[in-house]
Structure 1
């Protein structure tokens, strides 16, 4: 599978449950010749056949190398970022929930589902493979949601791309993140206000903003049907470092607030 095929398949799967993304992309294509993707992000469970270490090997097989690692103590997450040998290819950010750091009640619920995960082939298709466990009951979902929005989201959505990210630097209509967010909001899409509309500053070399996730109606295993957050669209503006090179990394404090784009509150 070529890297272009990988991202084409990933995008098609993404917009099935995130229709806002294609609408926003088309909005910018009205004024810009292309909309370039800065990075994509994925979520998974620790201590499972599809944990961060397993997914890392799949990412590396696509021509990437490890860029950095991150810890999110409050959210009980750890993550890694990857950069491709071809600098024009989007970066990848993969995080995992450290299940052993949750309460006993949440651990017990998640264990029932993660125990259903069977070993899978180390192939790119795993990134749009969805749930590797049965749909949870609404009670299980609601219980986990009280402690970890991340865990509840993953329990329902499964292993699929969490968001794509517009590279604001390569837009022709504007290179100001505030302009981008204003335009998106004026088109009727909600913006993630957690930590401010713009997360980060030029001083940390990265500014990020995002929409709030789309909502999709799902049927839980106990027959209850509810709307839950699916995925969102992000926007990133990068700045040059002291060597005059455009910063290519991630900022943990920014990412911590971007995670809240899938909040159900």
Structure 2
């Protein structure tokens, strides 16, 4: 599979879960802008066979290289960023939840999910847009996970798929700042994640980011129940050159920590 097909498959799954993204993308295209994807991110669990180590080979097979590790102690996560030699290909961000740091109850729910995964499906790159590979958890279990880790609840209900795509603000001509983009997003009727400020980061750390609040879609739960839960969001990033004049390629953990809250069930609507 080449990178074009890979990102087309990811985008198709993403916009099915995130209708706002295609509308926002089209709004900028209609304004004469070239919309380039800065990065795409995924969430998973540190449990075989869907842990980061099992998913990473699909990214490396496309010519990507590990760039930098990240840690999010408060959210019990670890992650890696990946970059490609082609500067116009989006960066990739893979994160995983450290399940052993959750309560026994939450850990048991997530381990049950992972144990149902057919390992053969993980060996194909389509696993990255496969969604939920286990039977639905109950609504009560989802709520218990949500109380402890919004990330855990997200993975349990949505599975393995793109968590967000990102507009590269550097390529926009009429909207050169993240705040400019956020204003357009609000004019279109979408909420903005203001956790830690509307714009996370600053030029001094070489990266500024903002995002929408996630869409909500009705998903199935055990026993035939259906409930609306947060799905995915659209991010916007502006990168700055470092002291050598090279555009910053990584991520800023303090900012990403707040971006994760774009799927906070208490804020999305």
TM class by shorter chain equals over 0.9
Q: C-alpha separation between the residues in 2 aligned to 1:123 and 1:102?
A: 29
Q: Which residue of 1 aligns with 2:255?
A: 254
Structure 2 unaligned runs (5+)? none
Q: Answer yes or no: is the 8 Å Cα contact 2:33–2:174 preserved in 1.
A: no
Q: Which residue of 1 aligns with 2:145?
A: 144
TM-score by length of structure 1 reads 0.98
Aligned pair 1:194/2:195, yes or no? Answer: yes
Q: C-alpha separation between the residues in 2 aligned to 1:106 and 1:219?
A: 19
Q: C-alpha separation between the residues in 2 aligned to 1:151 and 1:67?
A: 25
**CA deviation vs aligned residue, 1:90-146 (integer Å, no higher than 9, x gap):** 000000001001011111121221111221353321110111111111011111111
Q: C-alpha separation between the residues in 2 aligned to 1:213 and 1:35?
A: 20
Q: Which residue of 2 aligns with 1:52?
A: 52
Offset, 1:78:
0.4
Offset, 1:89:
0.6
Q: Which residue of 2 aligns with 1:39?
A: 39
Offset, 1:245:
1.3
Runs of 4+ in 1 over 4 A off after TM superposition: none
Q: C-alpha separation between the residues in 2 aligned to 1:258 and 1:213?
A: 11
Q: C-alpha separation between the residues in 1 aligned to 2:49 and 2:224?
A: 28
Q: Which residue of 2 aligns with 1:132?
A: 133
**CA deviation vs aligned residue, 1:178-235 (integer Å, no higher than 9, x gap):** 1110111111000001001001000000000000000001221123221100100000
Structure 1 unaligned runs (5+)? none
Q: Which residue of 2 aligns with 1:172?
A: 173
Q: C-alpha separation between the residues in 2 aligned to 1:245 and 1:157?
A: 37
Q: Answer yes or no: is the 8 Å Cα contact 1:216–1:230 preserved in 2.
A: yes
**Structure 1 SS opposite 2:223:** coil
Aligned pair 1:113/2:108, yes or no? Answer: no
Q: C-alpha separation between the residues in 2 aligned to 1:189 and 1:174?
A: 17
Q: Which residue of 2 aligns with 1:183?
A: 184
TM-score by length of structure 2 reads 0.96
Q: Which residue of 2 aligns with 1:96?
A: 96
Q: C-alpha separation between the residues in 2 aligned to 1:219 and 1:174?
A: 39
Q: C-alpha separation between the residues in 1 aligned to 2:126 and 2:108?
A: 29
Aligned pair 1:15/2:18, yes or no? Answer: no
Offset, 1:74:
0.7
Q: C-alpha separation between the residues in 2 aligned to 1:174 and 1:27?
A: 12
